[in-house]
């Protein structure tokens, strides 16, 4: 498809075809989880109808097919983010597990008393809590890159925060609470100049624009299948091969070993060393189908659609009296967070729900950045490749209704 045809795209998503509360569904909560195209649903059903068996060990035909599907999915992910080698792709449960894995393997090995871990003030709790836990376990200190009033990182502060004590920089590519796109390539360059590895939280980025981990240069990149139109319960940790090979195992169990005696255990090679137990086979199969779907549309075309819709959304939301956007960074993707004066975001969400409009309200698992903006919560409309200007117009009509209800 050369020109991006959003109406055609919508037909691929069966869930979107319904009415809720007597009105056509307007789904503006894809940053929480995205809907699934028929191709993903079909791939999962097909796997169970034809190929299901356990992987890696079986000699029979079904196990061979299932192994091919699972390892083929790894190759599909490799290509999607342009990693050098499929061994750099570790399947995990999601972004949260990917970050915990790095904190508990790379972190436990390399971080000690007096060391520092550097994150930013706009992180999701998934990129705060694992590092806090690591600091408590090791006696290290958590340092934070500040955020300004637009919701951009204060880049002038970065050089001084990257010190000889810093053992890792962990930063989100796109903020789920504000939509800010961070300059992760530049941050990686700065950190690498001081020999500091970088983990990028890609949960909100891979759905909106092409990601090339070699171009970014980061050491780790984490993302979730369910936010990129794939299934829940599957995600990816990309790690540079030399980094992964130097890390101890994460969980222990089957598949992550080469041999076990009661005296000695030899661990498996990367990436299997980090994938203990029967993996999420249907998840990997569904994720690969989601990537093929995205590739079919073209990430460049998707990025253009998303950018145009964000620009339109920003413009029309700003026209709603009393509405304040929270996060006005120069570069944003997918997220429009806002507050309506004197009306609690939860009330905004509840009234919109009556109109068939799904948004998210709350702190978005990013309480520190809410504190920075001095709000307990925001209302968040998040956009995906199946959203239209009509969806955004419905949101604006809904917000006018909210204002009427609250006089
Ligand atoms: N980081 C960011 C920026 C996110 O938006 C999310 C999900 N809201 C996560 C991490 C955690 O992802 P998951 O719950 O899929 O592990």
User: Is 135 part of the annotated catalytic residue set?
Assistant: no
Please calculate the CA angle 110-116-120 and round it to the nearest 5 degrees: 115
Please identify which residue in the block is written with the tokens 């998503």.
13
Please calculate the CA angle 362-368-369 and round it to the nearest 5 degrees: 75
Residue from 126, 227, 233, 327 whose mutation best tests the ligand 1 pocket (most atoms within 8 A of CB): 126
DSSP state of 249: P
How far is 268 from 225, CA to CA, in rounded Å? 25
Model confidence over 103-116: pLDDT tens digits?
Answer: 999 999 999 999 99
Is 361 in a helix, a strand, or coil?
strand
Closest CA to ligand 1's atom 8: 32
- Residue 3: the pLDDT is 76
- Ligand 1 centroid to Cα of residue 95, in Å, is 6
- Residue 139: the pLDDT is 98
- Residue 372: the pLDDT is 95
- Residue 358: the pLDDT is 98
- Ligand 1 centroid to Cα of residue 281, in Å, is 21
- Ligand 1 centroid to Cα of residue 231, in Å, is 14
Burial class (CB in 10 A: 0-12, 13-18, 19+), 71: middle
Which of 288, 315, 301, 294 is CA-nearest to residue 393? 315
Ligand 1, atom nearest to 226 Cα: 15
On whether ipTM exceeds 0.90, the answer is yes
Q: Which helix (H) or strand (E) holds 346?
A: helix 345-354
What are phi and psi for residue 181, nearest 5 degrees?
Answer: -95, 120
Residue from 31, 93, 124 whose mutation best tests the ligand 1 pocket (most atoms within 8 A of CB): 124
Ligand 1, atom nearest to 95 Cα: 16
Q: Which long-range contacts (CB under 8 A, 24 or more apart) does 197-200 make?
A: 197/106, 197/167, 197/168, 197/169, 197/243, 198/168, 198/169, 198/170, 198/171, 199/99, 199/102, 199/127, 199/168, 199/169, 199/170, 199/171, 200/170, 200/171, 200/172, 200/173
- Ligand 1 centroid to Cα of residue 72, in Å, is 25
Assess contact for 201 and 173: CB atoms under 8 A.
yes
Ligand 1, atom nearest to 93 Cα: 16
Burial class (CB in 10 A: 0-12, 13-18, 19+), 247: buried
- Residue 1: the pLDDT is 44
How far is 399 from 402, CA to CA, in rounded Å? 5
Model confidence over 123-164: pLDDT tens digits?
Answer: 999 999 999 999 999 999 999 999 999 999 999 999 999 999
Ligand 1, atom nearest to 94 Cα: 16
Tell me the β-bridge partners of 259: 266
Residues with CB under 6 A from ligand 1: 94-96, 124, 126-127, 172, 176, 201, 203-204, 224, 365
Measured torsion, CA atoms of residues 157, 145, 226, 271, in degrees rounded to the nearest 10: 90
- Residue 228: the pLDDT is 98
- Ligand 1 centroid to Cα of residue 203, in Å, is 5
Instruction: Enumerate residue ranges in the chain where pLDDT < 70.
Output: 1-2
Closest CA to ligand 1's atom 12: 95
């Amino acid at each position: 498809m050369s020109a991006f045809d959003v109406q055609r795209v919508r037909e691929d998503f069966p869930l979107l075809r319904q009415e809720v509360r007597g009105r056509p569904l307007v789904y503006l909560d894809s940053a929480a989880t995205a809907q699934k195209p028929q191709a993903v649903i079909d791939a999962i059903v097909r796997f169970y109808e034809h190929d299901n068996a356990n992987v890696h060990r079986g000699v029979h035909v079904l196990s061979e097919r299932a192994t091919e599907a699972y390892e083929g999915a790894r190759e599909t992910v490799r290509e999607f983010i342009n990693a050098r080698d499929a061994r750099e792709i570790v399947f995990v449960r999601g972004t949260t597990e990917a970050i915990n894995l790095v904190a508990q393997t790379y972190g436990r090995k390399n971080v000690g008393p007096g060391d520092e871990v550097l994150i930013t003030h706009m992180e999701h709790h998934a990129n705060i809590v694992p590092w806090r836990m690591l600091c408590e376990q090791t006696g290290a200190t958590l340092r934070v890159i500040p955020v300004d009033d637009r919701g951009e990182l204060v880049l002038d502060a970065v050089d001084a925060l990257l010190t000889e004590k810093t053992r890792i920089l962990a930063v989100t590519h796109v903020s789920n609470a504000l939509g800010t796109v961070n300059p992760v390539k530049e941050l990686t360059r700065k950190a690498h100049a001081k020999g500091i590895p970088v983990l990028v939280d890609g949960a909100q980025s891979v759905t909106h624009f092409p990601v090339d981990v070699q171009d970014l240069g980061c050491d780790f990149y984490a993302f979730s299948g369910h936010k990129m139109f794939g299934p829940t319960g599957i995600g990816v940790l990309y790690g540079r091969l030399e980094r992964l090979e130097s890390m101890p195992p994460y969980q222990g169990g089957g598949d992550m070993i080469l041999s076990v005696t009661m005296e000695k255990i030899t661990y498996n090679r990367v990436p299997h060393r980090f994938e203990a137990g029967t993996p999420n086979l249907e998840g990997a199969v569904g994720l690969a189908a989601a990537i093929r779907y995205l590739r079919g549309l073209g990430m460049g075309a998707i990025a253009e659609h998303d950018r145009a819709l964000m620009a339109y959304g920003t413009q029309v939301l700003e026209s709603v009296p009393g509405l304040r956007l929270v996060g006005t960074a120069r570069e944003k993707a997918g997220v429009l967070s806002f507050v309506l004066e004197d009306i609690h975001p939860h009330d905004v969400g509840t009234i919109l729900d009556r109109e068939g409009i799904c948004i998210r309200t709350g702190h978005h698992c990013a309480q520190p950045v809410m504190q920075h903006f001095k709000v307990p919560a925001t209302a968040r409309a998040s956009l995906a490749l199946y959203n239209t200007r009509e969806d955004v117009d419905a949101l604006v009509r809904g917000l006018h209704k909210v204002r009427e209800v609250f006089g």
